[in-house]
Structure 1
Amino acid sequence: SLLFAFEESREQLVRNAAAWGFDFPGWEEEGLIRIVPQYPHSLTLEDHLVVMKDTIDEYEPTRVAVDSLSALERASSVRSFREFVINLTATIKHREITGLFTANTPTLTGGSSITEQHISTLTDSIILLRYVESFGEMRRGIAVLKMRGSQHDPAIREYEIDGDGMHIGEPLRNVHGILWGSPTHVDPELAAKFERAGAAQAG
């Protein structure tokens, strides 16, 4: 696996990974992973793309992760960023590599961004993570927005992260507006009524 990191330094990545029980230095020694941290403003997008292509050709990974596209978006114009994303995704697909790209939302609870608009049509799958404020507590939501060529669960589900990893729970049925970054609570009885009505129509 190959990780291009534009948000955090190598030291931060190694420290964060160790907290989850992942030995990045050991994996690098074994040739299982290669970490390439770069400062977004250190090069133009064109030069970043050249470095990434050369590294991919040299390392020949089966998986490539970019964290994050948002950091590169902030260091470029809209047009150059879109061209960069098109070229990078084409390179990865041409080499039959699995690509994972992260992108940040403009606010803590969500909202759309230029990054999302540019990558939505170029990717095969999109997984959305959101923070949801619920009665004075912050909860986490996860949803599969897109999975080309495959059926998927349309529900927005709550998830938790603990020492054993990530756990995906039940759908957030009493909250709507999560995708737009403005979650609103719905009366549970009313939500159940609409759910039953939808099930009846589907049947």
Structure 2
Amino acid sequence: MTRPPRLDPGVPGLSTVLDGGFVPERAYMLRGGAGTGKTVFGLQFLTTGEGSSLFVGFEEPTENVRQNAATLGIDTDDLSFLDLSPDGDAFAADAGYDVFGADEVEGDAVTARIREAVETHDPDRVFVDPMTQLRHYVRDDYQFRRQVSSFIRYLTDRGVTVLFSTQPTGAVSDEDLEFICDGTLTLSHAEKGRTLEVTKFRGSSFAAGTHTARVREGGVRVYPQLVPGDHTTGFTPESVSSGVDALDDLLHGGIDRGTVSVLSGPSGVGKTTTAAHFLVEAATRGEHSVAYLFEESAATFTHRSEAIGLPVNELRERDVLDVRDVEPLGVSPDEFAADVREAVEEDGARTVLIDGVSGYRLSLRGEDDDLVRELHALCRYLRNMGVAVILVDDVGSVTGDFEVTSDRISYLADTIVFFRYMELTGELRKAIGVLKKRTSDFERTLREFQITDDGIVLGDPMTRLRGILSGSPELVDD
């Protein structure tokens, strides 16, 4: 069966949700409350692609629509407008109707003006904002559905692709229009902006669930949920060195491409510094690497790395190392995943650091299950793309009972490198070890760990100490 052609909806990211875009010469409903971005969405739809477009507005005057579009950088000069919004004269006049004149309430004049505009401009795309306003021009719900159905059929028979908005309220529903249209899209307010959900799309599959939507310069942009199985590439499994021989020996060669490595330990123990060595070593070889920092600034990361001899500034200037601040309270998992995809698929990133898991969790503002689900999808995608992934995970305990990872994420890891504080002869010291590595064997001894002016240093295996994981080791007699 031949796949029907698709029409660019004009909203970045939406074609992914709609499996390619709108099916031409059909009608789609865009529902949502006030301020969710419906009009902006419609303007983007009209200003995309070739052919002529017609905006039929029942609420805002044309001049207001144009001005609002201009503030977002949307050019409406080539659009045709039919302004059916009420004006002040209708209110001032002592007529039998409050806002609309008698001929408008009866609907004859409105219908005639719409038909005239369509026949004059012969549009390929029409946006009606909002369609529910037509309820004011008919006697009952039956007549309203009949009029809308006839209107849509009139347009689609002329080869027009139709998008119309609705604004349902508690008193007035728009559910009857869902049976008339070929697709339903819903814009909603959310804690971090807006969401978009497709609940109906005839003649095609679509990405179910809620997707993040933002209104920024250029209009609405949709960030689809990441579906890992949709993305894969061939790659050669190989080890990724840290540039520190002792650490590579501990891991029997380093971490592996297409795997997830978790660096786990309490705050300040050296996890990020260790991760920086892997990034810098990969970037020095010319492999593009990216660090996403949820818990410190790029300036701080760069300064700390430079202080121990890691040439982060030089590598950033060569565009082989990218260090990005991420504000967890200002970004959704969908937006973050889109940024990561861009780094991998467009910039060619081969090593990705996410520092750290607790900061990423803030972007969810949900339950632990949300963290596991979203992080699982992101890590599986990166694995499929052959990326070496490094997660930095803070555990709460400094000493005492050994805690592998936080938030039940240990199952995501192919490799776990843990760091531990320990008190020895009245001095606070650090230890490093490998808990697991799925792709190869590894050294099972614990080594002392230090951060010096020349980078990280691993000592000899601490075979004369026991109880290191408790944080209070004891010397073992010969």
Q: 1:18 aligns with which of 293, 300, 306?
A: 306
**Does the 8 Å CA contact 1:158/1:170 hold for their aligned counterparts?**
yes
Q: Percent same amino acid at aligned positions?
A: 22
Aligned to 1:201: none
Quickly say closer, same or farther: Cα 1:116–1:128, change in 2 above 3 A.
farther
Aligned to 1:112: 403
**Does the 8 Å CA contact 1:175/1:183 hold for their aligned counterparts?**
no
Aligned to 2:466: 175
Instruction: Give distance in 2, aligned partners of 1:124 and 1:163.
Output: 31
Matched, 1:30 2:325: no
Instruction: Give distance in 2, aligned partners of 1:8 and 1:135.
Output: 33
The alpha-carbon deviation at position 95 of structure 1 amounts to 0.7
**Does the 8 Å CA contact 2:312/2:321 hold for their aligned counterparts?**
yes
The runs of 5 or more residues in structure 2 that have no matched partner are 1-288
Quickly say closer, same or farther: Cα 1:185–1:21, change in 2 above 3 A.
closer
| Further displaced range: 85-94 or 108-117 | 108-117
Q: Deviations over 1:31-66 (max 9, x none)?
A: 211111111111223332232223322211111111
SS of the aligned residue for 1:158 comes to strand
Aligned to 1:4: 292
Instruction: Give distance in 2, aligned partners of 1:113 and 1:150.
Output: 20
More helix by share: 1
Matched, 1:136 2:136: no
Aligned to 2:353: 65
Amino acid across the alignment from 2:375? V
**Does the 8 Å CA contact 1:3/1:34 hold for their aligned counterparts?**
yes
**Does the 8 Å CA contact 1:73/1:81 hold for their aligned counterparts?**
yes
- Runs of at least 4 residues of structure 1 off by over 4 A? none
Q: 2:379 aligns with which of 89, 98, 108?
A: 89
Amino acid across the alignment from 1:164? D
Matched, 1:40 2:328: yes
Instruction: Give distance in 2, aligned partners of 1:114 and 1:164.
Output: 29
Amino acid across the alignment from 1:14? T
The alpha-carbon deviation at position 81 of structure 1 amounts to 0.6
Number of residue equivalences: 186
Quickly say closer, same or farther: Cα 1:81–1:26, change in 2 above 3 A.
same
SS of the aligned residue for 2:393 comes to coil
Q: Deviations over 1:73-127 (max 9, x none)?
A: 2453201110121111111111111111111111333742763621x22221111
SS of the aligned residue for 2:412 comes to coil
The runs of 5 or more residues in structure 1 that have no matched partner are 193-203
Aligned to 2:441: 151
The alpha-carbon deviation at position 185 of structure 1 amounts to 3.5
**Does the 8 Å CA contact 1:45/1:80 hold for their aligned counterparts?**
no
Quickly say closer, same or farther: Cα 1:167–1:14, change in 2 above 3 A.
closer
- Per the normalisation by structure 1, the TM-score is 0.81
**Does the 8 Å CA contact 2:343/2:349 hold for their aligned counterparts?**
no
- Per the normalisation by structure 2, the TM-score is 0.37
**Over the residues paired in the alignment, what is the CA RMSD in angstroms?**
2.1
**Does the 8 Å CA contact 1:133/1:183 hold for their aligned counterparts?**
yes
Quickly say closer, same or farther: Cα 1:116–1:137, change in 2 above 3 A.
farther
**Does the 8 Å CA contact 1:7/1:71 hold for their aligned counterparts?**
yes
Q: Deviations over 1:111-159 (max 9, x none)?
A: 42763621x2222111111111112101110001011131111112112
Instruction: Give distance in 2, aligned partners of 1:6 and 1:26.
Output: 23
Amino acid across the alignment from 2:312? F
**Does the 8 Å CA contact 2:309/2:454 hold for their aligned counterparts?**
no
Instruction: Give distance in 2, aligned partners of 1:146 and 1:74.
Output: 28
SS of the aligned residue for 1:59 comes to coil
Instruction: Give distance in 2, aligned partners of 1:165 and 1:29.
Output: 21
Quickly say closer, same or farther: Cα 1:21–1:131, change in 2 above 3 A.
same
Amino acid across the alignment from 1:109? T
Aligned to 1:50: 338
Quickly say closer, same or farther: Cα 1:43–1:141, change in 2 above 3 A.
same
| Further displaced range: 102-111 or 120-129 | 102-111
